[in-house]
């Protein structure tokens, strides 16, 4: 389309130049011959196109330059983000290698004990096992079970204060010991809603956490046609890929990594950043999710 318009522009300028040359040539020769009417018609027909095209050309050129600049800036940002992620991964791995001997706390036992409590619907004893987390005097941690109505709901943790008030912003009350142990327990509590009861569409968020290699035996495929045929193969594959939970300290923050299974994604290793202030206040942030084995059951709730 641009080529066609450019041809029109060039043609119009040629006609205009021809008209001007002819017009002034006749004046100099004092000729009384009438000028061809079709020249007027063609020049008038092309004039609006030229008037509109020149601003369009300038504007589109400016927009194209801006678009290329935005794309270049975006590519630079993505390159910087990838470089930062790579550096962070290298730092985490280096920290893991350095802290392997120091890391003796049994994460799996605490997590698996709490999972069994959840299976028995014994929700109110969480804090008895999370010994590196604490609540204000008189406060207690509870679970509000999901409502079995509408299209889906999740179970939620809440704190009941000594005054009898209820608050779902549990991290406004819970404090953690500034240690690897405290970071691990904070991570577990942060993710426990994936293990608690879920209703209907919320089951897309159901997870089976791999706190040890034995947890791969807990995987149950939702695809009924594939369950018997693929279950042993998938469990064997998952067993070869999972790694035990890791907690390392990097630049004053803890990075907690743990694998989990979901029928709507497969085997995934996630990393969560845990910051614990000197006063024990906890801040948590998801920073990475890596798919180790892809699987989708194909069932829709």
Nearest alpha carbon to residue 230 among 157, 296, 151, 159 = 296
Nearest alpha carbon to residue 283 among 294, 297, 272 = 272
Distances (CA, A) of 224 to 142, 157, 194, 230: 35, 33, 22, 10
- With beta carbons less than 8 A apart as the criterion, state whether 295 and 222 touch: no
The length of the chain in residues reads 301
Calculate the CA 49 to chain-centre distance: 48
Per-residue pLDDT of the chain (301 residues; tens, 9 = 90+): 566 556 666 666 666 666 666 666 555 555 555 555 565 566 556 655 555 666 666 677 778 788 888 888 888 888 877 776 676 666 666 655 655 444 445 778 888 889 999 999 888 888 999 999 999 999 999 999 999 988 999 999 999 999 999 999 999 999 999 999 999 999 999 999 999 999 999 999 999 999 887 888 888 887 666 665 778 888 888 888 988 888 998 889 999 999 999 999 999 999 999 999 999 999 999 999 999 999 988 777 6
Radius of gyration of the chain (CA): 34
Nearest alpha carbon to residue 250 among 107, 83, 81, 87 = 87
Greatest extent of the chain over all pairs of C-alpha atoms, in Å: 112
- With beta carbons less than 8 A apart as the criterion, state whether 261 and 206 touch: no
Q: Report long-range pairs for 231-234 (Cβ below 8 Å, ≥24 apart).
A: 234/293, 234/295
What residue ranges do the domains of the chain occupy?
Answer: 2-99, 107-296
Interior/surface letters 204-231, b for 16+ CB within 10 angstroms, e for the rest: eebbbbbbbeebbeebebbeeeeeeeee
Task: Look up the pTM and report it.
Answer: 0.69
């Amino acid at each position: 389309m641009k080529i066609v318009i450019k041809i029109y522009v060039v043609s119009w300028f040629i006609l205009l130049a021809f008209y001007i040359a002819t017009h002034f040539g006749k004046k100099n020769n004092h000729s009384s011959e009438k000028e061809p009417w079709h020249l007027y018609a063609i020049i008038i027909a092309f004039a609006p196109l030229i008037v509109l095209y020149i601003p369009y050309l300038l504007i589109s050129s400016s927009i194209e330059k801006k678009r290329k600049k935005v794309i270049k800036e975006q590519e630079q940002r993505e390159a910087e983000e990838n470089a930062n992620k790579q550096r962070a991964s290298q730092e985490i791995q280096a920290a893991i290698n350095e802290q392997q001997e120091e890391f003796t706390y049994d994460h799996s036992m605490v997590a698996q004990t709490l999972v069994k409590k959840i299976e028995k619907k014994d929700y109110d004893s969480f804090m008895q096992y999370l010994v590196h987390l604490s609540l204000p005097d008189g406060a207690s941690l509870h679970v509000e079970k999901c409502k079995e109505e509408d299209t889906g709901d999740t179970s939620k943790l809440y704190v009941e204060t000594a005054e009898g008030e209820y608050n779902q912003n549990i991290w406004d009350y819970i404090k953690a010991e500034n240690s690897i142990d405290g970071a691990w327990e904070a991570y577990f509590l942060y993710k426990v809603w994936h293990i608690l009861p879920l209703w209907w569409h919320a089951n897309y968020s159901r997870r089976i956490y791999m706190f040890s290699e034995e947890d791969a035996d807990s995987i149950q495929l939702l695809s009924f046609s594939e369950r018997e045929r693929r279950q042993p193969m998938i469990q064997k594959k998952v067993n070869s890929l999972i790694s035990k939970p890791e907690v390392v300290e990097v630049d004053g923050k803890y990075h907690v990594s743990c694998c989990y299974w979901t029928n709507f994604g497969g085997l995934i290793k996630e990393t969560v950043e845990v910051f614990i202030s000197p006063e024990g206040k906890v801040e948590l942030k998801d920073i990475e999710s890596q798919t180790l084995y892809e699987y989708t059951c194909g069932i829709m709730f």
